[in-house]
Amino acid sequence: MEEEKQNRLLVLFASQTGNAMDAAERVGREAERGGCPSVDVLSVDAFDPCCLPDEQTVIFIVSTTGQGDAPDSMKAFWRFLLQRNLGHQWLEGLRYAVFGLGDSSYQKYNFTAKKLDKRLSDLGAKPIVERGLGDDQHPSGYEGAFDSWLASLWKVLNQMNAAMLPRISDIQDARIITLDLPKFHITYHHVEKPKQCFPANADLDNLAKMIEGARLMSAAQPRSDDNRPQYFLKMIRKLSLTKAGDRDVNHFEFEAVSSDVRYQAGDILEILPSQDPIAVDAFIRRCNLDPDCYIKVQPRDKKKQMVDYHANDFMNSIKLRTFVELTMDVASASPRRYFFEVMSFYATAEHEKERLQYFASPEGRDDLYQYNQKERRTVLEVLSDFPSVQLPFEWLVQLVPPLKTRAFSISSSPLAHPNQVHLTVSKVTWKTPYGRPRHGLCSTWLAGLDPHDSQGVYIPAWIQKGSLPPPPPELPLILIGPGTGCAPFRAFIEEREIQNMNMPTAPILFFFGCRNEKTDFLYKDLWLSQAQEGGVLSTQKGGGFFVAFSRDQPQKVYVQHKMKEQSKRIWNLLSEGAAIYIAGSSNNMPADVTSMLEEIVSEESGVSKESAARWLRSRERAGRFHIEAWS
């Protein structure tokens, strides 16, 4: 056993969206192709960190989420590494490499990889190569850095131990590349079974079990520690918040139907969207699948099996069409690079095979990125472009991007709206570089729903703890939320309004921004009513409401400009211990607002900009500075 560990290459990944897992699996494939005798690729939450000193060589592939956060799967592992009783020689003898996946448009770019690299080094481990940092903003995505980093890693490992570790010559030799077995095994039942469909509210429990069973079988399986209750929410109201223009923002109200929904202001609602049935049917026809047969999907690796199949196989099966509909994103997400590599083995037309092999090669990386990711080609579109390819369903289950839940900041307070959840959702639309129209899957689906449908509209949803903790009534607040970033602050202000009826509450300064006063002044009546005498945003209570209309005048005006005008009031409230909350688009807003806060603190307190930045970081460590941003 000890000798096996010495000869093992361990690859640990921490993934939130699946990219880090995909990169880690590529590391494992290349290591095996290069002749490495023992390779294990594991999610970091499937590995006991106590055993880390027993390993010889570990490759970490980790993503960064939100504002510098580690993925959920890595949080327990990271807490373990931070224990003070771990000495500086605890990992002496461990060789490691770290590759991070991040987005440089966020302030804390690749923060997880940087922290992990430093902590491993502090504990005595020795880096094999310098850490690699993949950037979503790179013309080729994270692979723009990953390809060269991985080539350097293999070269160094080969030099360190050519007999045991991957041979770089074999990894790079396209002539010896073979196709692995797919990770899933599928059992088919071509028999009649009572019809499955999305039932009415009387059968919501059955639907919940169907969703859970399908997703536990698939690559879309939830986190292993995910025991959050699943709710079915009935849409009871939809209201357009914008007028004619290029933005379509809706306010949705939902009511829990089976059990009381429990959440706090600042929490997140995750929704499993429905796919276009026309697209699902087109995918099934393109892949020559039988939509009415029943299937059971199991990992070939029994250790990864999450569903107990001790009962009859047939009783645990699910209709193929339902499985596709609930777990496989066939017409929204773009496939990853390995999808093209596997397709090349099944292409019967020579010109298609050559093009797919080129796309899967390092030389074709940039062209693949332009064709696939930049254009947001869907699985259905890619398969249509290569008609000679007929992938087995086992490979499709593995390679089609899983249908993911979509997360939205809750814009209601449970005190103000018991057993209800409100959302503020902008319908996402854009054009690709070649002018092809694209639409966000979940936002478009929600916008098309009618709460007055005679059958009722029910959505499967889960509550997730947000990154904006609910503030106590005695805490002064400075809220900055342009556009739909106002959503969590609607919840805060509704909650503070209820609290204000029973106890003294602290003041709130709220800075809101939109394009035009007449077209997208979201929740205008609420903000203005609370800014009047007695309201929680009123000057009488020490608060204030300030709105920036960026396009109502020749020169752009943003929330940071309004903050500059109120610098003394901001500083006075900060001096009283106020907490800062920022929510909205991740593009430039969080960095611009933070820079303005540094400028205000510097000017009002008479310290340098660097000292002001350090002071704000201390506020963050004290739990008084929070950012929730999304792309």
Does the annotation flag 16 for ligand binding? yes
Higher pLDDT, residue 123 or 108: 123
Say whether 448 counts as a known binding-site residue. Answer: no
The predicted-structure confidence for 149-199, as pLDDT tens digits, reads as follows 999 999 898 888 765 566 666 665 555 567 888 889 999 987 665 444 444
Task: List pLDDT tens digits, range 458-516.
Answer: 999 999 988 899 999 999 999 999 999 999 999 999 999 999 999 999 999 999 999 99
- Residue 559 among known ligand-binding residues: yes
Q: Is 444 assigned to a binding site?
A: no
* 442 annotated as belonging to a binding site for a ligand: yes
359-384 pLDDT, tens digit per residue, is 998 889 889 989 998 899 999 999 99
450-466: string of b/e by CB count within 10 Å (b at 16+)?
eeeeeeebbbbbbbbeb
Tokens encoding 512: 């809101």
Domains within the chain, CATH numbers bracketed? 2-176 (3.40.50.360), 477-630 (3.40.50.80)
**1: pLDDT strictly greater than 50:** no
> How far is it, in rounded angstroms, from Cα 406 to Cα 273?
7
109 is in an annotated binding site: yes
> What radius of gyration do the chain's Cα atoms show?
26
Q: Give dist(CA 321, CA 194) in Å, integer.
A: 14
407 labelled binding-site residue = yes
Find out whether 361 is annotated in a ligand binding site.
no
136 marked as binding residue = yes
DSSP-derived secondary structure letter, 167: P
CA angle 208, 214, 218 (to 5 degrees): 145
484 marked ligand binding residue: yes
Report the 3 state secondary structure along 53-103: HHCCEEEEEEECECCCECCHHHHHHHHHHCCCCCCCCCCCCCEEEEEEEEC
3-state secondary structure (DSSP) of residue 320 = helix
63 is an annotated ligand-binding site residue:
yes
CA end-to-end span of the chain: 46
Gap between the Cα atoms of 450 and 434, Å rounded: 33
Region 102-108: mean pLDDT is: 82
Query: What are the structure tokens assigned to 151, written together?
Result: 């080539």
pLDDT digits over 429-449, tens only?
A: 999 888 889 999 999 999 999
What pLDDT does residue 231 have? 87
pTM (global) more than 0.85: yes
Residue 15 assigned as binding residue: yes
**Is residue 34 annotated as involved in ligand binding?**
no
> Is 592 labeled as ligand-binding?
yes
